[in-house]
Amino acid sequence: MAMVPMEPMMAEPAPSALQALEALPELMRSMADALRATHERMAALENEVRRLKPVTPAQATEIGKAIRTRAIEVCAAHRAEGCEAAAGNAIRKAVKLTCGVQSLRELPRCDYDIAMRQVAMWDDYQAMKRIRMRHGK
């Protein structure tokens, strides 16, 4: 019996398979868009969670120490000795206003460095002038 070479048969794909293959790129694009949107929402949620964590008690204590130290320095520079408590209150108020919190213990952990830099730079001439006038200096 002689072997007759068989020609490979190429079957035509079914019409539904062709439609599925044609729809595949659009489906992949929509999946990529959904994944990208999920990633963006997760990043935003992570930032919100980070903002909700308040400073540690040790960090709040450090901010308080920095405020007291800066108040002493500013009072010495403005010749307003004895007004350190009032200057400290002014610095504390400025930090709370900048960060939008009621108390330094509520300060978001991510704003700790900002608060420390603000304390180190604080030197409000108008506030010190009011403090000196109130204390009769």
Question: Token pair of 123, please?
Answer: 């030197």
Alpha-carbon distance of 92 to 97, in angstroms, equals: 9
C-alpha–C-alpha distance, residues 110 and 95, integer Å: 14
> What's the pTM?
0.63
Total residues belonging to the chain: 137
Per-residue confidence of the chain (137 residues) as pLDDT tens digits?
A: 566 565 655 556 666 777 877 888 888 898 999 999 999 999 888 877 777 788 999 999 999 999 999 999 999 998 888 899 999 999 999 999 998 899 999 898 888 999 999 999 999 999 999 988 887 76
